[in-house]
Structure 1
Amino acid sequence: MTTRNDPTTNLETRASWLPMVSLFLAQVLMSFNVAALPISLGGMVEDFGVPPTVVSSTIVVYGLAVAALVMTGAKLGQRIGWVLMFRIVIVVFAASSVLMIFSQTVAWAIAGQALAGASAAIIVPALVALIAENYRGAQQATAIGGLGSARAISGVSAFLIGGTLGTLVGWRPVFMIVLAIAVVVFAFSFTLRGDRGDASVRIDLVASALIGAAIVLLTLGFNNLNAWGAVQATDAAPFDVLGLSPAPVFVVIGIMLGQTFFWWTRRRMREGKVPLIDLSILKSSRERAAVYAMFIVVALEACVNFTIPLYIQIVQGRTPFDTSLAMMPFNLTVFITATLVVRFYKRYPPRTIGVFGFILTTAALLWLSFVVTNNWETLPTILGLIVFGIGQGALVTLVFNVLVTSAPAELAGDVGSMRGTTQNLASAVGTAVAGALLVSLLGIGVASAVVEHPEIPPTLVEQVNMDDLNFISNDDLRTVLDETDATAEQVDAAVEINEQARLGALKLGLLILAGVSALAILPASRLPRYKPEEIPDPSPVAAGR
């Protein structure tokens, strides 16, 4: 949905900005919740006594729920009415924060984020729909731009506030803020204007089931590649398929269901029936390239957002506030770049900006793979994060703008659904893959280092479960080894091996991500090549995740 010059715009009566308060804060609500999860990583690991990769399931489940349900949520909002649905899901979001505050086990936290994700699946399309119903002309463009600012501002504030509270008080008060925001959003929702819905709108339940199942299986498969086994099933796998791990099987079945969803949707469109999503928004290779590029850049961002808190809070044993400081250069850079990149739309075509953006992210990840140490606050590391933030901020804004400007206004909801599905699936998969990749590399590094260190006898190795390796601090490792018959010299050697393996896993992981980023230059090279005077409107439409 783009805003074009309209000679009648100046004749329109200016609407009150009061309804926008609710929509702006709803975007803040979702973004603050998402940004608070990595900051809370260390606190939840300590409280629940589970590995960080298990706690990261809260991030994965949130993204999974949004991605699986956002298309259905858009149709549900059209059928029941956006204002009523908006109020209902805000209440559900508030309930999710209550679950987080009072969670006794990690299962409670995962359930809380599942509820939050299901709510966000309707909030995401509701924001754009309600802006369209409450504002016109220039006010509408301003309101849409405000959502992008809300997402960036809440991300930065969540790291600052969450880091401070997590260090001084604990991680739970962070979600008290989420609850308070939800209450304010609900109160201001009574200023919103909207229709009563259209009972004639039909939801394609077959397509909804296909895309939902596909996303659930893909996410579960990627998230459990390490725990269940990348090929052969481990003891932790719930079952096996002829000896194979269910994780890759889930991935394959998920891809097949996704393809079936597209076949089914195309068939309904040929028959003149209303689809769950209008695939004409992906009619050309340029729009498809934008979706591919969006998936990759969001997945890369999720990998970085998981990796940095993991190393700072779990490996180094530092505070959430230290995490917020380490992430600040990246978050501020993303915010500034996402705001300023619009200025380049009339001077450079999307293809040029897209290719340059992925060159920056590739160079940054490659640089970080060589300069990163156990201290994230060194100047070379900060420079690498800033460069990555420039590329990432430019790309996320650009690729969604390409989709919006290529689709007619009446398909804005479908574009929002596609964006919500792609972005949240990428976030969930990126987090899951980052965890599985780093743990796998850690296992390889430890196994190799043990062989190269004769001071670690096989009898000691047998007392440690090498099949259940994960990221732990040096102090935690010493505690584990105290329960064995290891000597002081052997403990010191094991701690040294742990440090080397962790850093090696990080460096190699970043190198692999750099390779993925480099491959993304290919779809970026297929983005549109507008001439400056042909650009409909440079203002990006931002609907929160």
Structure 2
Amino acid sequence: MTTTTSTMPGLEERRSWLPMVGLFLGQILMSFNVSALPISIGGMVSDFGVPPTVAGSTIVIYGLVVAALVMTGAKLGQRLGWVRIFRVVVVVFACSSLMMIFSPSVGWAIAGQALAGAAAAIIVPALVALIAENYSGDQQATAIGSLGSARALAGVSAFLIGGTLGTLVGWRPVFWIVFAIAVAVFALSFTLRSDRGDSSITIDVVAAFLIGIAIMVLTLGFNNLNAWGAFFAGPGAPFDLGGISPAPMLIVVGIILGQAFFLWTRRRIREGKVPLVDLSVLGSGRERAAVYAMFIVVALEAALNFTVPLYIQVVQGRTPFETSLAMMPFNITVFITATLIVRFYKRFSPRTIGIAAFTLATAALVWLSFVVNNNWETLPTIIGLVAFGIGQGALVTLVFNVLVTSAPAELAGDVGSIRGSTQNLASAVGTAVVGALLVALLSVGIGRAVVEHPALPPELIAQVDLDSVNFVSNDDLDEVLARTDATAEQIDYAVQLNEEERLRALKMGLLILAGISALAILPASRLPRYRPHEIPVG
């Protein structure tokens, strides 16, 4: 795709950062909305009188719609013009927040998040395309880095503000903030350079259907590995096929449909027709390495963001506000690093930064596996979270920048759609896999421990369902054991055993994540040697 580079940044046109403020807030808009949903579930359960799983459907539907429509959204932006469609979908996002605020039933809330997901499916590639349209060189690298830092900033602020409002006022006022951000983004969109689009661009409906369904079933499959069963169907599975869980079957179907999408797209390119996404943005090993690295980075971040709240809220029984405080060292570090890493681009190549960042992330996960305990506020644990945040913040910005600078400006929307698909799928995979992994480790550990320890006799074990072992608080375990014939001493021993096995499962899980991070050094070693300020042209 590229043959020469420009190494004279002094000749670049310098633009005002005001348009970037609008794009930064556009990323904040999406991230704040999705971060506010988990802390709103309790309020929705109380307001609508529905189970938590039904209220949690707002999160699932948002992610599914974004993942399924993001590639189609990129083509719509190229056809209609990025600025024009960006303004329209920001208004749509504002309407979705009003639906959340005034929703009379959970159905309205779910519909509101479906609408927000459809808007986000266009905003995701639009942010990349508009950065490429409005900025170049060092400014473009800084602008790209700000998108990664915006996600971390939105996560921190959503938990803090949402947790405070949810405690003092209720869950609905949080979405007034989403509405206000949408209004600000719409106003600032008039500072962006305008483009007319290309009406000759057509949308490949077959490819849109294949990739949309593929990502939806993959996401559903991975998200339900725990609830439905990782292999054999569990009690929560909607159906089974010869005892096999539908979750792995959906994953297989998704992989097949994904392969069909690539085959169809290559055929369309050979015939000289416009594809849904131009695969030339993944034309070399460097770009593919960047996508692999991005997938691993986001999956690792999702895994940690699942693991820490799991222990703090479920095991320790603390509030979402306390969870946000515990995660603050990590999120703030990601925010700062993603912003500042561009300063190193003139001195080090993407390959050097990528290898160093994955090495640091691996070391941080190994460190955490040794020092972590049931208290997340200890200095050694905070040091581990900060170190992991530095690695993550550097990588989120780096791999995204490699993809953007390797592609022509007219393909920035395609890069954005690949980014959106990769991040949404990786987030689902990271969360689901680490959840299934931790539950499996805990189940094996407890099964082995109760057999080896005579203090828990077989007749007592028979009264507890060890086939559905999961992470529970000490109080919940006390409740379960109180309904058995266990003595007070046996209950105390079982609680202690559960504490030990929970911690052992966590430590082993962190070590496995460290192994995955170490393996990611391989794709990082294939990142380009050029320095990102040497912007490719041609």
Residue 451 (structure 2) aligns with: 451
Counterpart AA for 2:124: V
Q: Which moved more, 1:422-431 or 1:96-105?
A: 96-105
Change (3 A) 1:488 1:175: farther
Contact 2:150 2:335 in 1 (8 A): no
> 1:536 and 2:525 equivalent?
no
The DSSP-based 3-state class of the residue aligned with 2:121 is helix
Q: Which residue of 2 aligns with 1:69?
A: 69
Q: Is residue 127–residue 416 contact of structure 2 (8 Å, CA) maintained in 1? A: no
Question: Partners in 2 of 1:486 and 1:235 — Cα distance?
Answer: 26
Instruction: Give 3-state SS (helix, strand or coil) of 1:405's partner.
Output: helix
Label 1:293 to 1:284 Cα distance change in 2 as closer, same or farther (>3 A). Answer: same
Measure the CA separation in 1 of the matches of 2:231 and 2:296: 24
Q: Is the 8 Å Cα contact of residues 39 and 309 (structure 1) preserved in structure 2?
A: no
Structure 1 match to 2:118: 118
Identity in percent:
75
Q: Which residue of 1 aligns with 2:349?
A: 349
Q: Distance in 2 between matches of 1:45 and 1:459?
A: 38
1:543 maps to none
**What is the identity, as a one-letter code, of the residue corresponding to 1:474?**
N
Pair 1:421 & 2:421 matched:
yes
State how far apart, in whole Å, the 1-side matches of 2:9 and 2:365 are.
44
Q: Which amino acid aligns with 1:536?
A: E
CA deviation after TM superposition for structure 1 residue 42, in Å: 7.4
1:328 aligns with 2:342: no
Map of 1:394 onto structure 2: 394
Normalising by structure 1, report the TM-score. Answer: 0.86
Q: 1:462-486, CA deviations, whole angstroms, 9 ceiling, x for partnerless residues?
A: 4444333332222233334444454
Alpha-carbon separation, structure 2, partners of 1:509 and 1:51 = 27
Find the aligned partners of 1:129 and 1:289 in 2 and give their Cα distance.
Answer: 21
Tell me the equivalent position of 1:518.
518
Query: In structure 1, what is the Cα distance between the partners aligned to 2:434 and 2:499?
Result: 19
Aligned partner of 1:436 in structure 2 is 436
Deviation at 1:153, TM superposition (A): 3.3
C-alpha RMSD of the superposition: 3.5
Kindly tell me: are residues 220 and 8 of structure 1, through their superposed partners in 2, closer, same or farther at Cα, counting changes over 3 Å?
A: same
Cα separation, partners in 2 of 1:229 and 1:515, compared to 1, 3 Å: same
Once the two structures are TM-superposed, the CA of residue 494 in structure 1 deviates from its matched residue by 3.0
Of 424-433 and 104-113, more deviation after overlay is shown by 104-113
Deviation at 1:381, TM superposition (A): 0.5
Q: Distance in 2 between matches of 1:291 and 1:106?
A: 37
- Which one is further off, 179-188 or 313-322? 179-188
Q: How does 1:67-216 map to 2 (within 5 A)?
A: 67-98=67-98, 112-130=112-130, 147-169=147-169, 171-186=171-186, 189=189, 194-195=194-195, 197-216=197-216
Give per-residue Cα distances to partners, 1:394-426, cap 9 Å, x unaligned: 111111111122112221111111111111211
Structure 1, unmatched stretches of 5+, are 539-545
1:377 aligns with 2:353: no
- Count of residue pairs the alignment pairs up: 532
Kindly provide the CA deviation profile for residues 284-322 of structure 1, in whole angstroms up to 9, marking residues without a partner as x.
111111110110011000111111112112211112222
Letter in 1 for 2:357: G
Q: 1:346/1:139 Cα in 2 relative to 1: closer, same or farther (>3 Å)?
A: closer
- The whole-number CA distance in structure 1 between the counterparts of 2:439 and 2:107 is 22
The CA distance in 1 between the partners of 2:352 and 2:135, in whole Å, is 33
1:490 shift after superposition: 3.4
State how far apart, in whole Å, the 1-side matches of 2:497 and 2:107 are: 33
Aligned equivalents of 1:501, 1:525: Cα separation in 2: 37
CA distance in 1, matches of 2:396, 2:424: 13
Contact (CA 8 Å) 1:341, 1:394: kept in 2 or not? yes
CA 1:228/1:258 → structure 2, altered by over 3 Å: closer, same or farther?
Answer: same
- Name the CA shift for 1:453/1:146 in 2 (closer, same or farther; >3 Å): closer
Judge conservation of contact 2:237–2:245 (CA < 8 Å) in 1: yes
In the TM superposition, what whole-angstrom CA distance separates every residue of 1:414-464 from its partner, at most 9, and x where no partner exists?
A: 111111111121112212222222222222233233323444444444444
1:125 CA displacement: 1.8
Q: Secondary structure at the match of 2:185?
A: helix
> 2 CA distance for matches of 1:132 and 1:343?
19
TM-score by length of 2: 0.87
Deviations 1:250-275 (A, max 9, x none): 21221121111111111111111000
The CA distance in 2 between the partners of 1:331 and 1:58, in whole Å, is: 24
In structure 1, distance between residues paired with 2:50 and 2:474? 16
How do 1:5-16 residues align onto structure 2 when only pairs under 5 Å count? Answer: none
Give the letter for the 1:310 counterpart.
L
Q: Is the 1:162–1:320 contact (alpha carbons within 8 Å) kept by the matching residues of 2?
A: no
Alignment-mate amino acid for residue 512 of structure 2? I
Are the aligned partners of 1:167 and 1:320 in contact in 2 as well (CA < 8 Å)? no
The aligned runs of 1:181-330 (5 Å cut-off) are 181-186=181-186, 189=189, 194-195=194-195, 197-330=197-330
Structure 1, 124-133 or 26-35: larger mean CA deviation: 124-133
**In structure 2, C-alpha distance between the alignment counterparts of 1:90 and 1:190, rounded to whole Å:** 12
Deviates more, 1:103-112 or 1:162-171: 103-112
One-letter amino acid of the counterpart of residue 70, structure 1: V
1:324-372 per-residue CA deviation (whole Å, 9 max, x = no partner) reads 2211111121122112221222222211111111111111111111111
| Structure 1 pair 510–112 and aligned structure 2 pair: CA distance change class (3 A) | farther
Q: Which shows bigger deviation, 341-350 or 262-271?
A: 341-350
TM-fit CA distance, 1:73: 0.5
256-265 or 60-69, larger mean C-alpha shift: 60-69
